[in-house]
Amino acid sequence: MGKGEAAYYAEEVYEFEMECPYCGAPMQVREVVYRMPRIGRTLLVSKRCPTCGHRRSEVVPLEARGRVRVYYRVEGPQDLYARVIRSNVASIEVPELGASITPGAAAPMIVTNIEGILRLFLEAVKSLEVMGEDVGDAEEELRRLAEEGGRFTLVLDDPLGISSVEPPKGVRRSGKVIVERVEGALEPETY
């Protein structure tokens, strides 16, 4: 995308300084309201501290389309290349593995593929192991699925309605992706 094309999608630009959360020095912040294809209006945030080198960038959706659940049926290695867009508030589930990832307050928006999602699950399993949790053979199963593919269902539950899965080119699309519009808000879990 050329410089002129990027300016076409940028609606507003803000630049300011704030205190670095790590060293306390002035940190440069740039925010751009940007119209992203397939996602809509978003806020692109870039923070950089020239003193300590801390950097953080975020993509924050500014439009909600209504809650959706997206189901994608993975049937083989070719499906590992399906593009996945997960909003920062969407949960991810693989029912066959009994595994799910619920985003935290600082969760980023993710654009990846099915293999990348499986790697996220793998990182979560490793974290559980470090904390002393018994994860059984989950690590080996996730590693096998990420490398060889297999049969399972990926479910994205997105209150904003932004998340999507796009099968790779050349893969039969019929029945691979089901998008379910859900009435009502996502209920918070109670403990």
What does the domain layout of the chain look like in residue ranges? Answer: 3-61, 68-181
Cα distance between residue 92 and residue 110, in whole Å = 11
Share of the chain residues as helix, strand and coil, in percent rounded to the nearest 5: 25, 40, 40
Q: What is the pLDDT along the chain (191 residues), one digit of tens a residue?
A: 444 455 667 788 999 999 999 999 999 999 999 888 778 888 999 999 999 999 998 888 888 889 999 999 998 888 999 999 999 999 999 999 888 999 988 888 899 999 999 999 999 999 888 889 888 888 889 989 988 888 999 999 999 999 999 998 876 665 588 889 888 655 544 33
CB-facing half-sphere around the CA of 150: CA atoms within 13 A: 16
pLDDT for the residue numbered 182:
86
How does the average pLDDT of the chain come out, rounded?
86
In words, the CATH class of domain 3-61 is mainly beta
Strand segments (E) across 109-170: 110-113, 152-158, 164-166
CA 41 to chain centre: 16
pLDDT for the residue numbered 172:
66
For 25-76, the pLDDT digits (tens) are: 999 999 999 888 778 888 999 999 999 999 998 888 888 889 999 999 998 8
The answer to whether 161 and 185 are in contact (CB under 8 A) is: no
Four-way CATH pick for 68-181: 3.40.50.720, 3.40.50.620, 3.20.20.140, 2.60.120.1040: 2.60.120.1040
Cα distance between residue 6 and residue 23, in whole Å = 33
pLDDT for the residue numbered 184:
64
The answer to whether 89 and 160 are in contact (CB under 8 A) is: yes
User: Minimal CA–CA distance to 109: which of 143, 160, 68?
Assistant: 160
The answer to whether 79 and 171 are in contact (CB under 8 A) is: yes
Residue 133 burial by CB count (10 A; 0-12/13-18/19+): exposed, middle or buried?
Answer: exposed
Cα distance between residue 33 and residue 15, in whole Å = 12
Q: How many CB atoms lie within 10 A of CB 159?
A: 19
User: Minimal CA–CA distance to 167: which of 35, 71, 61?
Assistant: 71
Q: How many CB atoms lie within 10 A of CB 59?
A: 17
